[in-house]
Amino acid sequence: MQFAFNEPFDSSPWLQQMREGLTATMQHYGHLMAASVDAAQLVFHVVNPNRPRPFRRQSKAVFVVGIAEGEPIGDNPLASTYPILLRSLSNLLIYCGAHPQQWAYLITPELGCYAAPELTQQTQWFDALYTRIAPLATSHLVIENHFDWDLPDDLADGTVVTDQMRAASRVLDAWHLFPTPYPLQHILPPEDYRHLQRVFGIGGISYGNLSARHDATRFWMSASGIDKGQIGIVSRDILLVTGYDPVLNAMRLSVRPGSHPLRVSVDAVEHWGIYRSHPEIGAMIHIHAWVDGIPSTAVNYPCGTVEMGQAMADVLDQDPHPERTIIGLRNHGITATGPDFPDILSRLENRVRTQVPMQ
């Protein structure tokens, strides 16, 4: 993956040091400096913590690491820094400074907040930062959608499976497992909110998704950016995924002519790979919550990446019963599989805790 820096990294001695250290570290791990910001797949972007502004992505398949120079934070650094991550539209925010010695917090969209270790040796310190950057720098994002206006008439109103999906979404909502803690339209300035909608096709944060097999090659899945507790209309809130198109690097969706489809959940590429690898799986529920005692992926790859899907598949391959199991996504949440939604819900009930352990 090629990387670039969005200016102004020369606005302070500390930001200059950050640029030099990140450049050396990225190149040490085999990444190339892009000829321009527009050619990069990962962009380091300076963020003013008092007036956060986003890097305007020209391509949707670009990861942004925000770098915000600030003052050390005492209690609850997540509450202070998470709005900065949102308003800068970063995939990862490094909130950092040089006094009294170099320090950093790394904040993720999944509400993770990690303090960088107190290391005086520069190389080791930047290596520690890279462990959080690496999942972005080594991932391939698939969030584009291609709509085929060919949904058969007999599927226009859904099936028994989509009825079960609606019912399951309301059960999960009643369990308070679809949090919407940050309504973006109230946090972001209007122009940034419009940019977010254009780039990602979402209008808010409602963590989690549901999907269910339709046949050997197709599956139903909830849309992105909706209130998952109120899933409703087929070809808008519930979409029929027909596959992944490697030429377009996009998920293909069959929708009803004349409908107004939203984008499918960013996790569609992951679910597509799992349904292909495990024909015995009939449905999946993903929530940002946790169940104790479950196996987990080793790396917290971003949502919507081929690498996240492969990490999930690797865990399922080691499970003696992948068709009825619960696996953890490190620092992220869980995905539960089953023959159908009622079966999954029966195994989740009274076992789920809302706080995801961060490592």
- Angle, vertex CA 36, rays to CA 246 and CA 84, nearest 5: 85
Question: How far, in Å, CA of 7 to CA of 43, rounded?
Answer: 10
Same domain for 7 and 104, yes or no, is yes
Name the residue range of residue 46's domain: 2-137
Q: Are 72 and 103 in contact (CB under 8 A)?
A: yes
Rounded Cα–Cα distance for residues 85 and 105 (Å): 12
Within a domain: 204 = yes
359 belongs to a structural domain: no
Query: Tell me, what's the pLDDT at 203?
Result: 47
53 plus 162 within the same structural domain = no
Binning pLDDT at 50, 70 and 90, where does residue 299 land? confident
Which percentage of the chain shows pLDDT scores above 90?
A: 65
How far is 342 from 321, CA to CA, in rounded Å? 18
pLDDT, mean of residues 264-273: 94
Give the whole-angstrom CA distance, residue 339 versus residue 359. Answer: 31
Tokens for 265, please give them: 């959940």
Question: If pLDDT is split at 50, 70 and 90, which confidence band does 183 have?
Answer: low
**b/e 228-239 (16+ beta carbons within 10 angstroms → b):** bbebebbbbbbb
Last residue in a domain, options 92, 114, 137: 137
Q: How many CA atoms lie within 13 A of 328 on its CB side?
A: 22
For residue 314, what are its two tokens?
A: 């690797």
Q: What percent of the chain has pLDDT over 70?
A: 92
Total domains, the chain: 2
pLDDT of 273-290, one tens digit each? 999 999 999 999 999 889
For residues 25 and 49, membership in a common domain is answered with: yes
CATH number at residue 246: 3.40.225.10
Domain check: are 225 and 269 in the same one? Answer: yes
- d(CA 200, CA 226) in angstroms, rounded, equals 13
